Amino acid sequence: MLETEAARRNDLSELSYEKPDPLFVASRWKDESVALICALFAYGNAGQIVKFLESLDFALLDASEEEISVSLQKHYYRFQKPEDVAALFIALKRLKEVESVEDLFYEGYRKEGNILDGLWHFIGTLRRVYPHTSYGYDFLTGKIPKNPASAGTYKRYMMYLRWMVRDDALDMGLWSKIKKRDLLMPLDTHTFTVAKKLKLLKRKSYDMKAVTELTEVFRRWDREDPVKYDFALYRIGQEKILSIH
């Protein structure tokens, strides 16, 4: 079923106002910084996510820091206050001036081909380049976990990496330095539930170990592209194709 769904969903018609997804906005820009903003705000109701993203002026990534703060002073989303939204734009603007997001991920990843090493290096750099902390901002950007073995799923970053590395009708494939076989499944509570319903996942805890376990299952199906099943799994849950209790 997942092979069929993955093939069927690999179509631009899957991204629309009727089927809202943050990739719907990100794919218009084909830009790694814009896509990261779209991914990090991708929590909550999909329609509300798209509405919020469409209210943002991504050209501000090339504006002055003062202009960013002034222009975004009325933009907030759930846990993020206007100063948190502005902080992300300013941090990414500063990063753009020194190194690409891809190169920062690659710097941590290249030693052992480990996506998580790349992610920790990126988050550490992002937090250093513009030190801002609040509940909303910490939730938005994430922190380097004290114990990676018991870390959360970092779902929004994993989804971002899928967009950047994979190249098909949906994912943008803007990066070339990271191999898609090393990607990890973007696991949220819904795909976690669907995966358990399909008996793909034995782990009862919703964490990074569950991400690794599910990714390994998919690697047995497709060694070179295990994450290609992510969007299908997500839509199966979202559209209630399975009765999940």
The CA distance from 55 to 222, in Å, is: 38
**Predicted confidence (pLDDT) per residue in 88-138, tens digit:** 999 999 999 999 999 999 999 999 999 999 999 999 999 999 999 999 999
The CA distance from 37 to 181, in Å, is: 24
Residues sharing a CB contact under 8 Å with residue 62, sequence separation 6 or more, in sequence order: 93
C-beta atoms surrounding 73 within 10 Å: 13
Cβ-count burial 211-222 (b if 16+ within 10 Å, e if not): bebbbebbeeee
Contact call for residues 165 and 28 (beta carbons, < 8 A)? no
Q: Output the CA torsion sign for 233, 237, 240, 245.
A: positive
Tell me the residue type at 123: I
Mean pLDDT of 186-205: 95
Contact call for residues 222 and 165 (beta carbons, < 8 A)? no
The CA distance from 15 to 170, in Å, is: 8
- For residue 136, the model assigns a pLDDT of 98
- For residue 59, the model assigns a pLDDT of 98
- Domain range summary for the chain, segments of one domain joined by +: 2-238
Q: Output the CA torsion sign for 43, 48, 54, 57.
A: negative
CA distances from 145 to 24, 59, 103, 150 (A): 30, 32, 21, 8
- The DSSP secondary-structure symbol of 7 reads H
- For residue 244, the model assigns a pLDDT of 46
Residue 148 pLDDT class (50, 70, 90 cuts): confident
Residue 146 token pair: 């004290």
**Predicted confidence (pLDDT) per residue in 49-79, tens digit:** 999 999 999 999 999 999 999 999 999 999 9
SS3 67: helix
Q: Which of 177, 135, 178 is nearest to 158 (CA)?
A: 178
CA distances from 155 to 121, 151, 158, 234 (A): 17, 11, 5, 12
pTM confidence score: 0.96
The answer to whether residue 243 scores a pLDDT higher than 80 is: no
- For residue 156, the model assigns a pLDDT of 98
The CA distance from 77 to 195, in Å, is: 29
